[in-house]
């Protein structure tokens, strides 16, 4: 007996769209940071509530899943964060949730895992995001790596320190000098400052009130890490903490940060039904493993896999949002694909070197910035969000711009018009 005869539903792959995304302002980790006295789960709750306020046509009970990532899942980042955050945000108790860990690509994995469920038909609407409070939970805190990693030499010892992996990448690409990485870092700071002053960053930030002992309450509305006015001479003298006379410094790498992000995803038909905006359409995604001691090269094979899935070439990509864990990691990606260090398609609003990289939250920041760039540049059809991942991985998602003339998805207004026409015909 066939599955149709037994009553099982037949399924078709559905389009997945990015409806909206936002984040908290990012803070510097540590006792002096803006979120020193704020819980990690409260940061993600702020994002969930803000998404619901920004999308009032979405009934909360229509949310089918809440997927939230954190790298260090203990303390205020533990206890099945997707479910606890949903309850704390006041979502109906019928809305389930789960937690995800893929280190730096946590939020990106939350999005793609949820997207798979939407495409399969298990979900219609999903919240996905990530949070990292590196002040409360420094990377690797509480971890107990299996001794076999060292005793059996399964990985190079340098693989457990991200800064060392960046120095190793410099060794692999001798053409990527410290001067090039410093120049890239200066440009990142300048681009982010220009985007902020141009009103392109603030619309997607949710203000967060934070209490600090002895200082009372402060409403945080801007990112703490950026250093506008950074110069080459200012970066030249910074120490190289990971290697004597090395090339990686605090100036050409992302800092240690606190922050949260969240995105609203839906099937294209659910978006049309509920009157939700369509800011991007998911085209393809891929993850790839690389040698852990050079984890920064991970975006290269991940992007090649995603492009192959989509039937596209690197020349088809009009915008790149690459996470700037380290400048050398971005430049190794650009060098592999023959893209200039200052190509205007790359990180138009600056990146993590300026704004910070709260590990598991960063993937959705890339998506939110890409969506805003799509809205202001209708000549670009495809863009990618990509990042390297600790322990030797890469992650890439390809998106399509619904504002492009050749957009292949169904826009909500097109769907609504078709339904009106069919009703009139009936």
pLDDT for 139 equals 87
Q: How confident is the model at residue 414, as a pLDDT?
A: 57
Confidence of residue 411 (pLDDT cuts 50, 70, 90): low
pLDDT at 143: 86
What is the predicted pLDDT for the residue at 8? 61
Whole-number pLDDT of residue 412: 60
Q: What is the mean pLDDT of residues 21-26?
A: 98
- Interstrand relation of 216-220 and 317-322 (parallel, antiparallel or unpaired): unpaired
Q: Phi/psi class of residue 298: alpha, beta or left (left: φ > 0; alpha: ψ in -120 to 50)? A: alpha
Catalytic site includes residue 388: yes
Q: What is the pTM of this model?
A: 0.94
Strand-pairing partners, residue 69, are: 100, 130
Distance CA 160, CA 173 (A): 21
Model confidence band, residue 420 (pLDDT cutoffs 50, 70, 90): very low
Specify the pLDDT at position 421: 39
128 contacts 82 by C-beta, under 8 angstroms:
no
Among 248-252, 320-324, 416-420, the minimum mean pLDDT is found in 416-420
Asked if 47 is an active-site residue, the reply is no
Residue 357 among the catalytic residues: yes
Residue 350 has a pLDDT of: 98
DSSP state at residue 15: -
Taking residues 26-52, report their average pLDDT: 97
Between 161 and 366, residue with greater pLDDT: 366
Per residue in 257-282, pLDDT (tens digit) is: 999 999 999 999 999 999 999 999 99
The pLDDT of residue 7: 52
Query: What length does the chain have?
Result: 426
Residue pair 413/273 in contact (Cβ under 8 Å)? The answer is no
Please give the pLDDT value at position 212: 80
Are 394 and 388 a contacting pair, CB within 8 Å? yes
- Which of these is catalytic: 47, 133, 170, 388? 388
Shortest CA distance to 181 belongs to which of 260, 236, 222?
236
pLDDT tens, 191-236?
999 999 999 999 999 999 998 877 889 999 999 999 999 999 999 9
Cβ atoms 339, 318 nearer than 8 A = no
Question: Does residue 131 have a pLDDT over 50?
Answer: yes
Q: Which of helix, strand or coil describes residue 406?
A: coil
Which residue in the list 104, 133, 170, 403 is annotated as catalytic? Answer: 104
Other beta carbons within 10 angstroms of residue 13's beta carbon come to: 10
Q: Indicate the average pLDDT of the chain.
A: 93
DSSP letter string, 299-347: HHHHHHHHHHHHT--GGGEEEEEE--SBHHHHHHHHHHTT--TT-TTB-
Residues 6+ apart with CB under 8 A from 338: none
Q: Quick one: tokens of 377?
A: 């540049």
Contact 347, 324 (CB under 8 A): yes
- Start-to-end CA distance of the chain, whole Å, equals 36
Q: Is the pLDDT of residue 136 over 50?
A: yes
What domains sit in the chain, N to C, each tagged with a CATH number?
16-137+149-413 (3.40.47.10)
Gap between the Cα atoms of 260 and 165, Å rounded: 25
Q: What is the pLDDT of residue 167?
A: 95
**Which of 1-15, 53-67, 70-84, 223-237 comes out lowest in average pLDDT?**
1-15
Query: Catalytic residue among 133, 137, 170, 357, which?
Result: 357
């Amino acid at each position: 007996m066939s599955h149709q005869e037994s009553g099982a539903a037949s399924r078709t792959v559905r389009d997945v769209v990015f409806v909206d995304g936002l984040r908290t302002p990012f803070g510097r980790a540590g006792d002096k940071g803006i979120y020193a006295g704020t819980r990690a789960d409260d940061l993600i709750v702020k994002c969930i509530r803000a998404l619901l306020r920004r999308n009032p046509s979405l009934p909360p009970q229509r949310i089918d899943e809440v997927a939230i990532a954190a790298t260090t899942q203990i303390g205020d980042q533990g206890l099945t964060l997707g479910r606890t955050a949903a309850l704390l945000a006041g979502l109906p108790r019928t809305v389930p949730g789960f937690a995800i860990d893929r280190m730096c690509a946590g939020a990106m994995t939350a999005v793609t895992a949820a997207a798979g469920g939407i495409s399969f038909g298990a979900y219609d609407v999903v919240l996905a995001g990530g949070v990292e409070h590196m002040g409360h939970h420094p990377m690797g805190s509480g971890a107990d790596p299996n001794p076999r990693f060292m005793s059996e030499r399964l990985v190079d010892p340098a693989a457990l320190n991200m800064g060392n992996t960046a120095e190793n990448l410099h060794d692999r690409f001798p053409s990527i000098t410290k001067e090039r990485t410093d120049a890239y870092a200066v440009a990142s700071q300048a681009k982010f400052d220009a985007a902020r002053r141009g009103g392109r960053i603030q619309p997607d930030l949710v203000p967060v009130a934070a209490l600090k002992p002895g200082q009372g309450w402060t409403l945080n509305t801007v990112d703490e890490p950026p250093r506008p006015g950074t110069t080459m001479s200012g970066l030249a003298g910074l120490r190289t903490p990971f290697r004597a006379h090395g090339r990686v410094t605090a100036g050409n790498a992302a800092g240690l940060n606190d922050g949260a992000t969240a995105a609203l995803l839906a099937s294209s038909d659910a978006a049309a039904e509920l009157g939700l905006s369509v800011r991007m359409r998911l085209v393809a995604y891929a993850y790839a493993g690389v040698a852990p001691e050079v984890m920064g090269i991970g975006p290269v094979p991940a992007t090649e896999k995603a492009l192959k899935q989509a039937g596209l070439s690197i020349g088809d990509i009009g915008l790149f949002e690459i996470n700037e864990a380290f400048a050398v990691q971005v430049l190794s990606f650009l060098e592999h694909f023959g893209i200039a260090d200052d190509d205007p398609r790359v990180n138009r609003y600056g990146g993590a070197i300026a704004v910070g990289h709260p590990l598991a939250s960063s993937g959705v920041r890339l998506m939110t910035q890409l969506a805003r760039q799509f809205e202001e540049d209708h000549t670009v059809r495809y863009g990618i969000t990509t990042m390297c991942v600790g322990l030797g991985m890469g992650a890439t998602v390809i998106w399509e711009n619904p504002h492009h003339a050749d957009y292949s998805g169904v826009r909500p207004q097109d769907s609504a018009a078709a339904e009106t026409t069919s009703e009139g015909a009936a």
